Amino acid sequence: MSRLRILRALRMMAPLLALWAALPLGAQELPAYKFTLNDLELFPQIISLNYESQPQAGDLAMINGIMVTLGEPGTYAFHVPLEQRERLYLAGADGKRTLHGVRVTWAMRAGEKVLVNPLPELEAEELAGLRGVFLDYWDDTVAKRIGQLDPQKTCVTVTDLVALGETRALPAFPANLRALAVYEKHGGGFSDYGSLRKLTKLEFFAVISYGHPALDMELFTGMPALKYLDLSATTVQRADALARCPALRSLNLGFTRGVKDVAFAKALSDLRVLDVQQTEVSDLSPLSEHANLRFVLANRSPIKKLPEGKLPALQGAELLKTPLSEADVAQFRQTNPNAVVLFQLDKLLAESLKRCDRMRVRSLLPSGKIIEKPALEVADTAVLLELGAQVHVDMDGEALECACSTGPFLEFMQKDQIVVTVAFRHNKQAEWLGGVLGNWPLRNESIQFLVSWLGKHDVKVEDNPLPGLPNPLDP
């Protein structure tokens, strides 16, 4: 999978994946783990529960739409039969394949929608060996089978098709379940998350939603081992209760409603990552002198006060489109010289483009697949400098939040590494896809210049959307 496809997939799942490892596995030096799927090299997203730089046993990986728990480092040769796409197998050292993950879902067969449910067919040993289960359906039989999993080694993902009764309740899972993801993809969502209270051994919980479901933070106070909590795009109630989750290392509250301050963070001494993008948070001083904090993301929030004192582990802070003064940010940078602090994106973009030595233009097929052969390549430094001087971010503009892919894509590179991707989307809108920076629209004059420049080189800018890339969590 190319970096651009990964960025598009991340964009479609931004609420959940904003902090899931930040970079695809292929962009890291990770010799301890190697993955293949049907004999092809695979670079899955790795979800670090401890937010370490290297994957380790107990982390989660997205394999063919199923989140699975990783074992010890080694070679993982996965296989999905074409006739049984709901099953994920893993080959052992002897080449023998064992069932590693399953998906209970719906499929179209002979023009009819039918349930595909492998669980009733599995022996007790197979159930205990599963490391990932995806559920689009729930009944008493499924509940019984889920009770036979190894709850400390299996990650369970459910969609809102499993919601129970008129209250649309989240089903009850084994009390010692370690990892649970909830995917509200069908519109109905869950109205009752009360069953979470019984999951006292939970270490990982994430919600993917587009409807801002309401969650009371008291639900999590009985989970002393909870390390990773992603509640982005939800409505958070009683946020102060998060102070009673002392093991938290990664906390994503980006795009939430109801979070107005982070006073609770004073009690979270092991916190590594905090995301409060586009919230009502204005004061980050509760993070002062946090010894383990590595990243803080506060883009588009009304931040007026930064952490005080040195943050010895800080690697990055995103403060884009905040009302902070340049003097405040300069002081913060001086106190934390080892951190990359993003504040004025246009200057960063200009500096990024100056170090590029090549640019290529690529397009998409109607299927959404990127055409590997570039439509245009430029290695003339003077031309690149001219292009770079014309590309400016519109910090007051709003990027489109759809999942469509249009083209072409301008990939500015340094040697063989993509530094910046400029993507043209609906109605010739261009965006800067900058990895963890998300995407930001370009100024109108920059768009006009690039469209004209591309036209002179016989590269067409698409006016209409092409089909969106598949969601990694969809079957």
Bridge partners (DSSP) listed for residue 341: 317
Q: Name the 3-class secondary structure at 41.
A: strand
Asked if residue 88 lies in contact with residue 77, where contact means CB atoms within 8 angstroms, the answer is: no
- pLDDT value of residue 210: 77
Asked if residue 301 lies in contact with residue 322, where contact means CB atoms within 8 angstroms, the answer is: yes
Residue that has been written with the tokens 């040697």 in this structure: 415
Q: Regarding beta strands 204-208 and 228-230, do their DSSP bridges make them parallel or antiparallel, or are they unpaired?
A: parallel
What's the half-sphere exposure (Cβ side, CA atoms, 13 Å) at 29? 0
- Beta carbons within 10 angstroms of residue 93's beta carbon: 8
Q: What is the dihedral of CA 352, 353, 358, 359, to 10 degrees?
A: 120
- pLDDT value of residue 323: 94
- pLDDT value of residue 81: 95
Domain boundaries, the chain: 3-344, 348-456
CATH of domain 3-344: 3.80.10.10
DSSP string, 196-265: GGG-TT--EEEEE-SS--EEEGGGGTT-TT--EEE-TTSEEE-GGGGGG-TT--EEE-TT-BS----GGG
Please provide residue 386's backbone torsions phi and psi, each rounded to the nearest 5 degrees.
-65, -45
Peptide bond into 408 cis (omega under 30): yes
Asked if residue 384 lies in contact with residue 356, where contact means CB atoms within 8 angstroms, the answer is: yes
Distance CA 275, CA 38 (A): 36
Size of the chain in residues? 475
Q: How far is CA 248 from CA 49, 108, 219, 318, 472, in A?
A: 9, 41, 14, 20, 26
Asked if residue 146 lies in contact with residue 175, where contact means CB atoms within 8 angstroms, the answer is: no
Task: Tell me whether residue 365 is exposed, middle or buried, using C-beta atoms within 10 angstroms of its C-beta: 0 to 12, 13 to 18, 19 or more.
Answer: exposed
Amino acid at 165: G
- Beta carbons within 10 angstroms of residue 83's beta carbon: 6
Asked if residue 318 lies in contact with residue 277, where contact means CB atoms within 8 angstroms, the answer is: yes
What are the tokens at 117? Answer: 């449910």
Strand order in the sheet with 46-47: 46-47, 60-63, 66-69
- pLDDT value of residue 409: 84
Task: Tell me whether residue 246 is exposed, middle or buried, using C-beta atoms within 10 angstroms of its C-beta: 0 to 12, 13 to 18, 19 or more.
Answer: middle
Stretch (H or E) spanning 89: strand 87-91
- Sign, Cα dihedral of 167, 173, 176, 181: negative
List the pLDDT tens digit at each of the 475 positions of the chain: 233 322 223 333 333 233 333 333 333 444 589 999 999 999 898 999 988 778 899 999 999 999 999 999 999 999 999 889 999 999 998 989 999 999 999 988 888 899 999 999 999 999 999 999 999 999 999 999 999 999 999 999 999 999 999 999 999 999 999 999 999 988 789 999 999 999 999 999 999 987 889 999 999 999 999 999 999 999 999 999 999 999 999 999 999 999 999 999 999 999 999 999 999 999 999 999 899 999 999 999 999 999 999 999 999 999 988 999 999 999 999 999 999 898 877 777 788 888 899 999 987 665 556 677 888 999 998 999 888 888 888 877 765 555 455 678 888 888 888 888 888 776 567 777 654 345 678 888 988 898 899 889 988 776 544 333 333 333 3
- pLDDT value of residue 364: 65
Nearest to 183 by CA among 65, 64, 69: 65
Stretch (H or E) spanning 16: helix 14-17
Nearest to 411 by CA among 363, 350, 347, 460: 363
